């Protein structure tokens, strides 16, 4: 790829812009249909936008306010090292996990393994066909875990879609042996209530515990009955993964009646998702803490006993948060960043009409000690560059960049691209770097962009829904020391103690 300077300057940008053209465009194809309604991360068919929105996008491109279609722009401290387009798996690209010299990339049709020993030239090691959205992915030792949150005819990798109203339908967790990275072997499956939208590992010496997040129950679903309001806990013996089984279903939002005890949503709280489970959990094993992003609620809980997590605090934001999506602790464990996935990932919310406080990150300080700790709101962060009304854009998956004494993270924003930002001052966060592509289209709203953007061993890796696997290098005095931190394994939702 040849970089050339763009003489135009964006009115809404940070730093110096570089442009790139001639990228291979991967077609966005529909993933297996999910039987359970999913306001979180569902792939969506292209949506028509008004003629005025189309004209506005064209005008903004012509004026240099936003990049051209498929054009790459980035701040001067970011270098785009590589892009690997989708190949045998045409579905939606999803989450990432890392181990040694390998990156593991989820896709609604299965997963892909990359050798990233040379980050500037990643190589495909394996592509495994195993359909089932979202195929949220993680690794621990010689085991790989994959979430299935669409109703399937059975637990095999040859299954087909089947309505959730049928008792024989299957959703849950799949386990693979990845001792041979070139030939992963499917070794176990565990069915869970309402499937597995995402999952989080709590590794122990002889076992791996999996916290399974799922939601949206219905009285018509035999295996997903309301009120739900909890998580499945799976215990996987490392030496006998075929014995993996659900060992508990802790209810995190206890309450009487069919609606449980979480956020009631509309009409009590208009525009806010009703809590019927959790979307994503992040654990900090070094502190025996976890944070839950649970639709209409954010929670802090103790995992001292991994089979019996205990809620410490519960918060809501019924003014600016629509769907609590994910969580990230800072290194000192005295802050949590929660994301709001306004519009479910398929809407254009990075515009002036939506504003800076919706579809954003919420920064909460953790105050107090022990079981009396509280989550205290301090501020919002949203990317400062407006996007076109044809670009789905909202806060999504990110990770810490390990810098002592500072709180810095990298984050995906779908077609808003990748943002590196600092929240050392919780009330005054600021962006310090970015990377993004121009709109996939200028005549309709097509879902695409960065699903996940994570920092691992000196580089930023991003899984773009449509464009494939990206590798970025960040060169900045504020983050350069992070290059000295090397991990043997990284599942972002199982946050490490980077400096232990």
pLDDT bucket at 43, cuts 50 / 70 / 90: low
How, if at all, do strands 444-445 and 47-48 pair? Answer: antiparallel
Q: Which residues are within 8 A (CB) of 186 and not within 5 positions of it... i.e. 6 or more apart?
A: 130, 156, 157, 174, 175, 176
Q: Which of 352, 351, 317, 323 is nearest to 339 (CA)?
A: 323
- Report the sign of the C-alpha dihedral through residues 11, 14, 16, 19, in that order: negative
Which of 14-23, 249-258, 319-328, 388-397 has the lowest average pLDDT?
14-23
Neighbours of 181 (CB within 10 A): 18
According to the model, what pLDDT value does residue 53 have? 84
Q: How far apart are CA 214 and CA 246, in angstroms?
A: 14
pLDDT bucket at 45, cuts 50 / 70 / 90: confident
According to the model, what pLDDT value does residue 26 have? 24
* Span 141-181, pLDDT tens digits: 999 999 999 999 999 999 999 999 999 999 999 999 999 99
pLDDT at 14 over 80: no
Kindly list the distances between the CA atom of residue 227 and the CA atoms of 175, 219, 231, 307, in Å, as whole numbers in the listed order: 28, 9, 12, 21
Phi-psi region at 316: left, alpha or beta (left = phi > 0; alpha = psi -120 to 50): beta
Q: How far is CA 176 from the centre of its chain?
A: 21
CA angle 266, 198, 374 (to 5 degrees): 60
Report the share of the chain in percent with pLDDT over 90.
85
Which of 9-13, 251-255, 398-402, 435-439 has the lowest average pLDDT?
9-13
pLDDT bucket at 68, cuts 50 / 70 / 90: very high
* Span 204-255, pLDDT tens digits: 999 999 999 999 999 999 999 999 999 999 999 999 999 999 999 999 999 8
pLDDT at 39 over 50: no
pLDDT at 386 over 90: yes
Q: Is 252 in a helix, a strand, or coil? A: coil
Q: Which of 412, 429, 439, 279 is nearest to 348 (CA)?
A: 439
Q: Check: CB of residue 412 under 8 Å from CB of residue 418.
A: yes
* Span 78-99, pLDDT tens digits: 999 999 999 999 999 999 999 9
Which of 10-24, 149-163, 192-206, 266-280 has the lowest average pLDDT?
10-24
Neighbours of 300 (CB within 10 A): 22
- What Rg value do the Cα atoms of the chain yield, rounded? 21
* Side-chain half-sphere CA neighbours of 94 within 13 A: 27
């Amino acid at each position: 790829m040849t970089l050339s300077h763009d003489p135009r300057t964006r009115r809404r940008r940070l730093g110096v812009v570089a442009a790139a053209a001639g990228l291979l465009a991967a077609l966005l194809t529909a993933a297996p249909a999910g039987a359970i309604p999913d306001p979180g991360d569902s792939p969506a068919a292209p949506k028509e936008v008004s003629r005025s929105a189309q004209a506005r996008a064209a005008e903004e491109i012509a004026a240099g306010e936003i990049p051209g279609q498929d054009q790459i722009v980035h701040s001067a401290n970011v270098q785009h090292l590589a892009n690997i387009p989708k190949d045998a798996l045409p579905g939606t690209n999803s989450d990432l996990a890392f181990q040694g010299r390998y990156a593991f990339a989820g896709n609604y049709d299965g997963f892909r393994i990359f050798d990233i020993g040379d980050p500037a030239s990643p190589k495909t090691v394996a592509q495994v066909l195993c359909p089932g959205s979202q195929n949220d992915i993680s690794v621990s030792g010689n085991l790989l875990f994959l979430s299935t949150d669409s109703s399937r005819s059975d637990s095999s990798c040859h299954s087909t879609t089947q309505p959730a109203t049928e008792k024989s339908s299957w959703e849950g967790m799949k386990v693979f042996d990845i001792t041979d990275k070139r030939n992963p072997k499917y070794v176990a499956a565990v069915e869970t209530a309402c499937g597995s939208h995402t999952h989080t590992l709590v590794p122990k010496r002889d076992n791996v515990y999996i916290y399974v997040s799922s939601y949206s129950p219905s009285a018509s679903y035999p295996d997903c009955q309301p009120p739900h309001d909890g998580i499945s806990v799976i215990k996987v013996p490392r030496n006998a993964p075929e014995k993996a089984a659900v060992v508990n279903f802790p209810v995190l939002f206890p309450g009487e009646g069919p609606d449980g005890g979480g956020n009631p949503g509309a009409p009590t709280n208009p525009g806010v998702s009703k809590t019927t489970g959790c979307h994503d959990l992040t654990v900090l094993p070094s502190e025996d803490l976890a944070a839950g992003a649970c639709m209409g609620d954010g929670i802090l809980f103790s995992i001292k006993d991994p089979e019996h997590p205990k809620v410490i605090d519960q918060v809501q934001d019924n003014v600016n948060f629509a769907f609590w999506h994910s969580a990230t602790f800072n290194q000192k464990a005295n802050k949590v960043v929660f994301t709001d996935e306004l519009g479910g990932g398929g809407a254009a919310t990075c515009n002036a009409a939506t504003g800076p406080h919706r579809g954003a990150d919420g920064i909460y300080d953790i105050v107090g000690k022990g079981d009396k700790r509280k989550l205290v709101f301090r501020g919002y962060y949203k990317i400062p560059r407006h996007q076109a009304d044809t670009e789905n854009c909202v806060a999504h998956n990110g990770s810490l960049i390990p810098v002592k004494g500072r709180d810095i993270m990298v984050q995906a924003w779908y077609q808003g691209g990748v943002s590196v930002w600092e929240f050392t001052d919780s009330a005054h966060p600021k962006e310090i770097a970015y990377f993004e592509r121009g709109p996939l289209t200028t005549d309709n709203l097509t879902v695409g962009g960065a699903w996940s953007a994570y920092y691992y061993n000196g580089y930023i890796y991003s899984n773009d829904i449509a464009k494939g696997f990206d590798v970025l290098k960040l060169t900045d005095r504020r983050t350069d020391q992070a290059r000295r931190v090397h991990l043997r394994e990284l599942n972002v939702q199982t946050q490490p103690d980077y400096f232990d």
